[in-house]
Structure formats: structure tokens, C-alpha cells
């Protein structure tokens, strides 16, 4: 498969020529866009492939190019996508010569990291678009994203649309950072294995200005451990965190919505005393970062199993394993990432986007799905759907279909069908992962 990755003669040859003979090029490569038509990737470097994911990424992109009729001498595409992928690469919503690249958080420069966290704080300062009579707890534009997730939680988790809904959700947040706060950098993902051995302090969670903030202050909490999956899995007591985050770019960050189902015993549900779930509840951002959860469940082998084990080659088993097989004591990388962050609202299924770490976590969830889709060269995995339209089919409901509509409340008035969200270079999207 890797032989397909040397996409252009010029790219391959230039890597072999002495600097004095190589064709002149730009002094600094733009890492944030890629010409998918030309196959403008840096040559695969096994020395940079610490855990095998770079190889899988290059294989995935090679398959994507073939599906778009861009492969060299490989014949017809195996799947007709919305985007045409020919000529200059103009497709529906995507110019394949200018595809955005979502990048690993650790690959961002310090300047890029500060711009990203600054844009989140900017969004947190802008007015909400919800009618306060409808969602009184949405006090700023950032809260709009928390609110729609909270409102729809029971129809977007352990459902047929979980992956599709969150793909659209993350992209809308990326667009809001760009359009409403001027962010022009890459949208980052948190590659969980990078911090599995030590999530804090780490490249992602630290007390400096170039991370996503640190752990919460050390406040005794959850003396019997933290419950996951309705209590089917117990995170052992860890004597750290629990209090407010007071370091990094989100020090003193205000959370306004939730919690609805808190896992941190220091914060009661907002519904205590008969309050409605969308009541404003301003409080500090709390974290209880769990090294046990990270080191046990967010390692490379758990992700590779999802991508390479034939048992997860269809969407039903794949998405169930990814989200968590709690009755069998397996939280899945999705739940494990959330409970690595922990605290409030990170441990609350409903209001989890209230912690800014949510976005890099769910970008990684989307990346795993993206890899899974593309590592099947036939393209058959785009159109697979499984599950009902209610969480764990409670209450019982019909099966989901690719014609189901996804709407996002006050976040955007643009509704899309699930089938428009299956490819990251079709529909409204135009991005890949590197």
C-alpha cells in the first residue's frame, strides 16, 4: 500500500536529489492545506511513525485519491462521491486542490496554539443566538454549542447518527472560530496515545500558555471512585484534581449550562430543587484528570484494534466498541477520552462541550472514524448505518437511515441529511487528517 503514497514523480525525485540540484521551492511548507489532486504530501517517513498511525493515514489518503479518480493508473473510482475530483478538483463544497488539514495538537506551533485557544475565548465572549426564553442558560455564543448538545443528548449518543452528528457539530464549531473570531489556523485533534502514559502535565494539559489548561485544583472528591457507564465501570480514586482550573488559557473559564448527570460529587445537577435543565448555572470549569483512565484505555492498541480487527469491520460493532461496551467492562476510547478529562462538565454526558478540551477529543473521534472509513479501499463503509434514533433504543424507536435530518438549533439554521455528512471531502466538508 505504501508504494501508492509516492504520489508524484517530482515529489519522489526531489527527496533523492542533493539540495543544490533539487528544484527550488517555498521556504516554508504550508502544513494546513493539501492539494489532493496532485497528491502533495510529504514523503512517508517511518522514523516519524511512532505508533503506526502515520502509515494508516497515508494508506487512507491513497484510497481517498483512488475513490476520487485521482490515483495514478489505478482505473475507475470504486465509489462515486459528490465531489468530482477531476480537473481542478472542484466538487460540491470542496476544492480538492485546497483541502484543509486537521493536525495533531502536538504539531502546532506555540503561536498556532495560542491563536486557537484565543479564538475559543473569543467565542465565549460573544452573545448567544438562542432566545433567552427558550434557553435561558445560554449566556454567550460558546454556550450555543453546549446547549444544542445538551438538548439533543438522548438522540445523538448510542444512536445511528452519533458519528454523523458529531462530525457536523465539530465542523460547525471550526467554522464559528473562523467566521466569528477570525481563526485561520488548523483545527487540532488530540491523539490520545500521545498523553496516555501521563495526561497531566502533558503537551495537551499543562499549566502554561501553550496547552488547554491544567488539572483542577486538588480538592477531595468521589471517595468511592468515579462511575462510568451508569456505574458499570469504576475509575479508582485519584488524589488530584476536582477543583477549578486556575492555569492556562482557560483559567477562570465560566461554565453556564448543566450539569445534568454529573460524575463529580462536588457539583449537584442543575435540576436540583425542580429547576429546568436549561437554567443558567454559572460556575468554574473543574477538571479531575485521570491518569488511570488514560493509561488503561486510550493507548494505541485500543485504537488499532478498532481499525484492524475484522470483528469491527462493519459500522454497528465499530461504533459500539468505540463508544463503549460498558456491560463487558470496556469504556471505549470515546468515553475514556471524556473521563481522562473528567470533572465538571467534562464528566457530564450532556454538557461535556462546556470544557474546551471537548473539541480536540471529538476531532480525534472523527479522525478514527475517518481512518476506519477509508482503510476499506472499496468505499463501502461510507454508506453503512446501524442503530435506532434513541440512546440505547430507550424508548424503543425506529432504525436510523442516511436520509435522517440533522439540525443544530441556534448554532446554525442549515439542516443536512446524514448521507451528506459521510465524507470529509463532500457535502459541506473539505478536510482530511494528517
Category of 352 on φ-ψ map: left (φ > 0), alpha (ψ -120 to 50) or beta: alpha
What would the grid cell of residue 380 be?
463501502
109-419 under CATH 1.10.1280.10, yes or no: yes
Q: What is the mean pLDDT of residues 151-158?
A: 98
Confidence of residue 71 (pLDDT cuts 50, 70, 90): low
Which residue did the predictor score with more confidence, 108 or 84? 108
CA distance 171 to 176: 9
**Summary mean pLDDT of the chain:** 90
Q: Three-class SS of residue 433?
A: strand
The Cα 390–Cα 110 span in angstroms is 42
* Tens-place pLDDT, residues 176-207: 999 999 999 999 999 999 999 999 999 999 99
Which residues of the chain form CATH 1.10.1280.10?
Answer: 109-419
* pLDDT greater at residue 252 or residue 423: 423
156 vs 232: which has the higher pLDDT: 156
Question: Does the pLDDT value for residue 30 go beyond 80?
Answer: no
The per-residue pLDDT for 423 is 98
Q: Which pLDDT value is given to residue 210?
A: 98
Residues 418, 404 contacting (CB under 8 angstroms): yes
Among 53, 102, 143, which residue's Cα sits nearest to residue 360? Answer: 102
Q: Could you tell me the pLDDT band of residue 40, with boundaries at 50, 70 and 90?
A: confident
Q: Are 249 and 209 in contact (CB under 8 A)?
A: yes
Give the range among 11-15, 62-66, 297-301, 372-376 with minimum mean pLDDT: 11-15
The angle at the Cα of 37, spanning 33 to 39, to the nearest 5 degrees, equals 70
What percent of the chain stands above pLDDT 70? 88
**How far is Cα 425 from Cα 171, in angstroms, rounded to an integer?**
12
What average pLDDT score do residues 94-113 get? 97
Q: Which of 9-18, 61-70, 87-96 has the lowest mean pLDDT?
A: 9-18
3-state helix, strand, coil in the chain (%, to 5): 40, 10, 50
Quick check: 87 pLDDT over 90?
Answer: no
% of the chain residues with pLDDT over 90? 83
pLDDT confidence tier of residue 72, bands split at 50, 70 and 90: low
In this model, does residue 80 exceed pLDDT 90? no
Among 99-108, 132-141, 169-178, 324-333, the least confident range: 324-333
Q: How confident is the model at residue 271 (pLDDT cuts 50, 70, 90)?
A: very high
pLDDT at 7: 35
Q: Rounded to an integer, what is the distance from CA 45 to the centroid of its chain?
A: 25
88 pLDDT more than 60: no
* pLDDT at res. 173: 98
Amino acid at each position: 500500500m505504501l508504494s501508492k503514497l509516492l504520489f508524484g514523480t517530482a515529489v519522489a525525485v526531489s527527496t533523492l536529489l542533493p539540495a543544490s540540484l533539487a528544484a527550488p521551492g517555498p521556504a516554508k511548507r504550508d502544513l494546513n492545506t493539501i492539494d489532493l489532486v496532485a497528491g502533495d504530501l510529504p514523503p512517508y517517513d517511518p522514523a516519524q511513525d511512532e505508533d503506526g498511525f502515520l502509515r494508516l493515514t497515508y494508506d487512507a489518503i491513497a484510497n481517498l485519491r483512488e475513490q476520487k479518480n485521482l490515483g495514478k493508473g489505478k482505473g475507475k473510482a470504486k465509489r462515486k462521491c459528490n465531489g468530482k475530483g477531476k480537473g481542478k478538483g472542484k466538487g460540491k463544497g470542496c476544492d480538492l486542490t485546497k483541502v484543509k488539514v486537521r493536525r495533531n495538537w502536538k504539531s502546532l506551533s506555540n503561536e498556532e496554539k495560542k491563536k486557537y485557544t484565543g479564538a475559543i475565548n473569543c467565542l465565549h465572549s460573544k452573545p448567544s443566538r438562542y432566545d433567552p426564553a427558550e434557553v435561558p442558560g445560554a449566556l454567550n455564543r460558546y454556550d450555543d454549542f453546549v446547549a444544542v448538545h445538551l438538548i439533543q443528548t438522548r438522540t445523538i449518543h448510542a444512536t445511528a447518527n452519533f458519528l454523523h452528528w458529531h462530525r457536523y457539530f465539530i465542523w460547525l464549531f471550526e467554522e464559528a472560530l473562523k467566521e466569528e473570531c477570525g481563526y485561520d489556523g488548523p483545527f487540532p485533534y488530540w491523539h490520545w496515545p500521545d498523553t496516555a502514559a501521563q495526561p497531566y502535565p502533558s503537551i495537551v494539559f499543562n499549566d502554561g500558555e501553550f496547552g488547554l489548561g491544567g488539572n483542577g485544583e486538588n480538592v477531595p472528591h468521589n471517595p468511592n471512585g468515579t462511575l462510568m457507564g451508569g456505574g458499570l465501570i469504576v475509575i479508582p480514586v485519584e488524589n488530584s484534581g476536582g477543583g477549578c482550573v486556575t492555569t492556562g488559557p482557560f483559567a477562570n473559564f465560566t461554565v453556564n449550562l448543566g450539569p445534568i448527570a454529573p460524575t463529580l460529587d462536588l457539583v449537584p445537577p442543575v435540576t436540583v430543587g425542580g429547576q429546568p435543565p436549561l437554567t443558567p448555572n454559572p460556575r468554574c470549569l473543574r477538571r479531575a484528570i485521570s491518569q488511570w483512565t488514560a493509561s488503561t484505555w486510550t493507548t494505541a492498541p485500543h485504537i488499532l484494534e478498532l481499525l484492524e480487527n475484522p470483528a469491527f469491520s462493519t459500522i454497528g460493532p465499530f461504533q459500539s466498541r468505540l463508544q463503549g461496551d460498558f456491560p463487558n467492562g470496556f469504556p471505549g476510547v470515546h468515553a475514556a477520552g471524556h473521563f481522562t478529562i473528567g470533572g465538571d462538565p467534562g464528566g457530564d454526558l450532556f454538557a461535556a462541550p462546556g470544557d474546551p478540551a471537548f473539541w480536540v477529543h471529538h476531532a480525534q473521534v472523527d479522525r478514527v472514524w475517518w481512518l476506519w472509513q477509508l482503510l476499506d479501499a472499496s468505499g463501502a463503509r461510507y454508506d453503512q448505518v446501524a442503530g435506532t434514533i434513541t440512546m440505547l433504543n430507550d424508548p424503543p424507536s425506529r432504525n436510523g437511515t442516511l436520509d435522517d435530518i440533522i439540525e443544530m438549533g441556534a448554532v446554525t439554521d442549515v439542516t443536512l441529511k446524514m448521507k451528506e455528512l459521510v465524507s470529509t471531502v463532500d457535502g459541506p466538508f473539505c478536510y482530511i487528517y494528517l
